[in-house]
Amino acid sequence: MTIDMQTAQGGRAATRREGANASEKFLSLVGQRPLIMGIVNVTPDSFSDGGLFIAPEAALAQALKLAADGADIVDVGAESTRPGHTPVSAQEEWRRLEPVLSELIARAGVPVSVDTYKAETARRALECGAALINDVWGLQRDPQMAEVVAGSQAGVVIMHNRETADAEIDILEDMRRFFEKSLEIARRGGIDESRVMLDPGIGFGKTRAQNYAALKALPDLLGIGFPILVGVSRKSLFRDMPDGLLEGRLIATIAANLFAASCGANVFRVHDVVEHRAAFEVLRQIGGAGA
């Protein structure tokens, strides 16, 4: 092995260690107060902000703004996972991520999460120092994902998902079976349980009624024994709000997240950081559960 290769490998190892340290620091805050995960989509087709941050400069500026606004972690995604999205290859996903990720990790001042279900994208992101992998398929789509996460000592979000919605099923029982399978994959892959969070997957493979049922079931999901991340921000679940499209969905999002916090949910993936900081501060002042 040449000296240059040894230097490069040593640099990647050091960066991975920094990511693991950032992950541990972030996870140590879980349970102390509601934690806010700011969303940056470097995609042309995400449902709320698709195309707004596809340019690396715009994505970086938005991520730094979210961090300055008070996000505890910033989540960057390069493939839309909205219903009806067009899948992209790991190569295209990384082409979108690479120009922004390393600089963001270096400059954000908060941990950085990467939203991907592909092990190759996760591996590259973790080598750049990402602290957490947010997998919308709960380690079940790519058989290498658990091993990649375990090797980096990063945190991981295991989200419930289905290919299609089925109004006839018991969604809570389906979620329990899904999480049981995912957690077994995590254990076999060597992921430390202290680095795992669960996400009920609001808006993914569920009818509207099942989405509300999943929110109502948060206390039951917390009984599984892991922190819960909730991602309801601006989703079509709230499409019938009477005010303007964005304002109505924001109000509905905050209402749902305050309910989730009162149930004991831990992390909230949102587009609107300042507004959620204010809402959680009011909850804290009142002395609400979860605050």
Q: Are 140 and 82 in contact (CB under 8 A)?
A: no
Which has the closest alpha carbon to 228: 259, 205, 252, 261? 261
Catalytic residue among 16, 118, 235, 249: 235
Q: Which residues contact 281 (CB under 8 A, 6 or more apart)?
A: none
25 annotated active-site: no
Helix (H, G, I), strand (E, B) or coil at 159: strand
Query: Which residue among 96, 269, 277, 284 is the active-site one?
Result: 269
Contact yes or no for 40/273 (Cβ under 8 A): no
Q: Locate tokens 């995912």: which residue? A: 182
Residue 181 annotated in active site: no
Strand residue runs (E) in 90-171:
112-115, 132-135, 155-159
Residue 148, burial from CB neighbour count under 10 angstroms (0-12, 13-18, 19+): buried
Catalytic residue numbers, as ranges: 235, 269
